[in-house]
Amino acid sequence: MSITTAKFSRRGVLGATGAGVATAALAGCAGEAAGQDGDGTIQFWSNHPGSSKDLEQAIIDDWNAANPDTPAVLVDGGANYEELGQKFNAALAGGDLPDVIVASDVTWFNFALNEATTPLDELWVEAGVDSDSIVDTLREDYAFNGQHYGMPYSRSTCLMYFNTDVLAAAGLPTDRGPESWQEFAEWAPALVSANEGKPALVIPDGTSYLDWYFQGMIWTFGGAYSREWEPTFMEDASIEAAEFLKEQVAKNHIAIAKDAANTFGLGNVSGLLQSTGSLGGLTESSQVPFITTYLPGPAPGCATGGAGIAVPNGISDERKVNAVKFMDFFTNTQNTITFTQATGYMPVRKDALEHPDEVAYLEENPNALTAIEQLNENTAPQDYARVFVPGGGSRIGGALDRITIGQEDVMTVFQNLQDETQRTIDRDIEPFL
Amino acid sequence: MTTIARPPVPGEPAQQDPPVRRRQGTDWRQVGLAALLIVPNLVLLLVFTYRPLLDNIRLSFYHWNIASPRKTFIGLDNYIEWFTSPSTGTIVFNTVVFTIAAVAGSMIIGLALAMLLDQKLIGRGPVRSMVFAPYVISGAAIGVAFQFVFDPGYGLIQDILARLGLDSPHFYQNAGWALFMITTTYVWKNVGYVFVIYLAALQGRREDLDEAAEIDGTPAWRRFWRITLPQLRGTTFFLSITVLLSSFQVFDIINVMTGGGPFEIGTTTMVFQVYQETFVNSRAGYGAAVATIMFLVVLLITVIQVRMQDKEQ
Amino acid sequence: MTTSVDTQVVPPTAPRDAGEALPPVPGTQIDEAPQLTAAQRRRRGRGVDQSSPVVKIAGYIALAITVAVIMVPLYFIVITSLKTRPDIYSDPITWWPNPFNPQNYSYVMTTLEFDLYLRNSVIITGILTVVKVTLGVLSAYAFAFIKFPLRNFLFVLVIAALMVPNQITIISNYSLIAQLGWRNTFIGIIVPLAGVAFGTFLMRNHFLSLPKEIMEAAEMDGSSFFRTLFKVVLPMSWPTVIAFTLITVVGEWNEYLWPFLVADTSATAPLPIGLTLLQDVEGLTNWGPVMAGTVLATLPMLVIFLILQKRMIKGLTAGAVKG
């Protein structure tokens, strides 16, 4: 075995031929002509968002019954989006690509930028997919360079939860949340004193996506993490939002916690910022009564999140078309209704909301309706600095930890954040755009 | 076959010559036999460990987004970036503190437990198994279980401290406490390994020395320092290296408990950084550089350990 | 083992500068059969019964503290596996499931295809353990007893493999396995994990600690290799082999990242991968079933430990009697 002859093979270069084992194709054969042929099945790599393996399998069974020539196979893609990304990256480096993958809000762009996933627009036409039937906001989340690189699947947004007992005790309305963060700051002292001095609101910490929740807050102040590829941490409005957050933490109005949802469920705080994904779990386990509300405005006050599905670039055109047909089926009106009702994610098709099943469901579950209504009225796609810049989420999360938990100086922390983000863009993004 | 010589006792000066068949010249039949015995294993290691290692070293000189087919040669840039990055200091500090604390903690506690459970105490059998049990459980499950211990909102420590009228430290929000939490959890998991090895060594040690000292009236703690510990020196050396190497590579406890935070890198160690850069930030070239540095550091430390041990002898 | 992912499970061990004769590393002789001195034999018989009551009481107190510290988190794993969702998080935490909810276990069994994952785990761990222990013993035999060119260099090569962090081997190995068409096969999971460095080191140092005279006697008898191995060397080494086996079994059983990358479905993937299905990516994970899965996955290992540990200690005492 000659050690030096071993090279990384690149995706799409070798099929399942098994030839040229150790002397794999040289690195960097970009632009390979033909894509990988598969074994005739559609390999769907999913991490089963919302513990949805059974559901996914059921939908796939339906597909297989209707399409016996191109059956789909459900593959366990890991415990979370990071693991799924890792598995897909391994496949990119080593060949043997799947047909459809789940790609999260932070992973899809890197795949698109590096041509690891394929643009879908032409495939939609070829496969006869009506992309207008997809909820506009959610579809446009996957737009890059005038093309779309994913279809929404398990999409979430944030929600504000309030303990209604405490709201009532504080003499505040029990049917709505604060309309602005300024109103929250006015409510907070009453909430704190009505609940034995416990904080009015808990937000997950920097390793639990504080950067995602704060994104909405910074927008309502007129700031942003970035405008396109221009980091804007040092804008006055961004700084103002960060100072506000820091002050609210210092005043014990806002708490930052590792396990925010359970802290709220146990009654140790009066309010909570969490993903819609937690709604089901909290409904089942919370020991306090609660309502869900929009995040404070003015709109947009909240970012969308969650994951979509995408198609690898290195597979053959025939596989791509079949993959897109499968994706269309997988997220069609009926299936998205079934899936979202069971998991708490948001329906991804426009007509799903008028479907009688869904209407009846939402009538019974007003908390689920909050998220869907908010989607149209109070959300926006995320800033590039968080989701497109490599390491953006943890970088911003770490900085927010510093100013909240650490009570460090906002200007200094954000200046560092600005510089580091800029450096990363110059190094990892700019040359590839 | 009857045993005619006493096998060496751990800690005794070692025999210097391996019992090689002493013959003149090379016995090619023996060489052939040796080849048959070692080649399969050697091939596996070459193909699945050394080939990737060399690949990794090569990649450390490239800018490579892991999702991209393009690799750009950038010379030593990844290394320069690591050595000049402001976060490197914190990450090295975390790695050093964690490793030293984990090695010292599991060694001292492991030895203490081994000595304790070497005594004739009622119930020592089940307790021995119990001490080993955490070593078997997956790190992910342990991380979750310890949340019930450490969480400042509802955890056990918080509960006990509250009864004493004290506030719980913010284990997840203070980098120092978070590192303490990670280390404690790791020691809890790993102590069973140290314990088993020490226990076995204690069983094989020369009790007559102890007893002679006991008759002399040497106090217990001096007997420990003067007689027991020196007898265990070899075992201690072995464990210090094996535990060090495994501590250096701890990943899943950190991943589950803190995700490397707070403050982004509050509990990030070098192995965690390799993972984070390669698979989360997609910077595979940079991750490879960190991995290469880590490999060299581990190699260096181990060589120093071996040299120190040689000098002592 | 060097490609193992759960880095805590397999204790790597140290390389030695093999340019010189290696002294036996005593930790590796955890279980050889020492010939006991008269005092040791006496001690075995009576333990430390003569120690003062104060010391004994202190010993029991220490024992109690040990039990408490080790047991509390273990206890939480077990009771959480029996709790309903609202009961898991409560303030203050509850020490007893209320209501008692063994359904978590049936949930794991039914949603997971538990039997398939378990079967795969048994196959993978079983084959890997047999292969690794065999390879480890054989190569250790060569390194310890046979003189051949480049011996020390090759030994260092084996040992230094322990220092390669597994995070850096997976991508490269993945492409090799994928090109061989070995994804989703047991062989693809097993072969890259089958090289053994720790065990070679462990066994070699144990072999070196065996009395020289025995090997020389065997040589004079003109014993064949297999005869020497099975009639002379192994009978004096079972406890070490058992320790090696124990560590290998535990390590392979908990192997996660590599099988995760190469195995897609329950046709070949082992238990740790099946268990990830119980976790929820964005919402609140229901930890009851996760802990139930952990308990189920851990139990076989504890049983194996109990069996092997007994044999290890038995090996010790048997050796003592023989001496």
Q: Is the pLDDT of residue A9 over 60?
A: no
Burial of B13 (0-12, 13-18, 19+ CB in 10 A): exposed
Residue A240 sits at the chain C interface (C-beta within 8 Å): no
Please list the ranges in chain C whose pLDDT falls under 70: 1-51, 280-283, 312-323
pLDDT tens digits, residue range A92-110? Answer: 987 789 999 999 988 899 9
pLDDT tens digits, residue range A26-46? Answer: 333 333 446 788 788 999 999
Contact C235 B139 (CB under 8 A): no
DSSP state of A76: E
Reported pTM: 0.85
pLDDT for res A289: 94
pLDDT band at A208 (very low <50, low <70, confident <90, very high): confident
Give the Cα separation of A129 and A125 in Å (integer).
Answer: 6
- Nearest CA to A163 out of A269, A249, A280, A261 is that of A269
Q: What is the rounded average pLDDT for all residues in chain A?
A: 88
- Phi, psi angle pair for A240, to nearest 5°: -60, -45
pLDDT for res C28: 41
pLDDT tens digits, residue range A359-388? Answer: 999 998 888 888 888 888 899 889 999 999
Q: Is the pLDDT of residue A203 over 90?
A: yes
Residue A126 sits at the chain C interface (C-beta within 8 Å): no
- The one-digit pLDDT tens for each residue of chain B (313 residues) are 333 333 443 333 344 444 444 445 677 888 899 999 999 999 999 999 999 999 999 999 999 998 888 899 999 999 999 999 999 999 999 999 999 999 999 999 999 998 888 877 887 777 888 888 898 887 777 877 888 889 887 788 888 898 898 888 889 889 999 999 999 999 999 998 888 778 777 765 656 666 676 677 777 788 888 888 887 876 787 788 788 888 988 888 898 888 898 998 999 999 999 999 998 888 999 999 999 999 999 889 888 887 887 777 6
Interface test with A, best of C120, C284, C285, C287 (most A CBs within 10 A): C284
pLDDT, mean of residues A260-264: 89
pLDDT for res A54: 85
> Hey, what domains does chain C have and what are their CATH numbers?
53-105 (no CATH), 106-316 (1.10.3720.10)
pLDDT band at A77 (very low <50, low <70, confident <90, very high): confident
Contact C142 B307 (CB under 8 A): no
pLDDT for res A212: 94
Return the structure tokens found at A97.
Answer: 């690509």
pLDDT for res A34: 62
DSSP codes of every residue in C12-24:
------TTSPPPP
Nearest to B119 among C47, C173, C210 (CB): C47
For A295, residues 6+ apart whose C-beta sits below 8 A from its C-beta are: A158, A159, A160, A177, A216, A217, A273, A301, A302, A374, A378
Chain A closest-CA separation from residue B183 CA (Å): 18
Contact B173 A395 (CB under 8 A): no
pLDDT for res C40: 46
Chains touching chain C through at least 3 C-beta pairs below 8 angstroms are A, B
Which residue's entry shows tokens 């506009």? Answer: A136
Contacts of C322 in chain B (CB under 8 A): 3
User: What's domain B97-267's architecture?
Assistant: Orthogonal Bundle (1.10)
Nearest to B50 among A3, A88, A256 (CB): A3
CATH 3.40.190.10 applies to domain A157-304+381-432: yes
Length reported for chain B: 313
Given CA atoms A310, A314, A317, A318 in this order, what sign does their dihedral have?
negative
Q: Give, in order, the Cα–Cα distances in Å from C4 to each of A99, A311, C57, C225.
A: 28, 31, 43, 32
Give the Cα separation of C311 and C305 in Å (integer).
Answer: 10
pLDDT for res C12: 36
Chain B closest-CA separation from residue C301 CA (Å): 7
Interface test with B, best of C133, C148, C219 (most B CBs within 10 A): C148
pLDDT for res B226: 83
Q: Is the pLDDT of residue A389 over 70?
A: yes
Residue ranges per domain, chain A? 21-155+305-370, 157-304+381-432
pLDDT for res B18: 47
pLDDT band at A127 (very low <50, low <70, confident <90, very high): very high
Most confident of A261-265, A316-320, B169-173, B244-248: A316-320
CATH superfamily of A21-155+305-370: Periplasmic binding protein-like II (3.40.190.10)
Contact A89 C279 (CB under 8 A): no
State the complex-level ipTM.
0.84
Q: Is the pLDDT of residue A148 over 90?
A: yes
In three-state secondary structure terms, A72 is strand
pLDDT for res B24: 52
Chain C closest-CA separation from residue A285 CA (Å): 4
pLDDT for res C314: 55
Give the Cα separation of C176 and C166 in Å (integer).
Answer: 16
Residue ranges per domain, chain B? 53-65+73-87+269-313, 97-267
Q: Is the pLDDT of residue A218 over 60?
A: yes
Return the structure tokens found at A245.
Answer: 């957050």
Give the Cα separation of B267 and B227 in Å (integer).
Answer: 39
CA angle C33, C35, C39 (to 5 degrees): 125
Q: Where are the alpha helices (DSSP H) in C81-179?
A: 85-88, 103-112, 114-145, 151-160, 170-179
Q: Cβ atoms within 10 A of the Cβ of C4, count? A: 23
Give the Cα separation of B125 and B98 in Å (integer).
Answer: 31
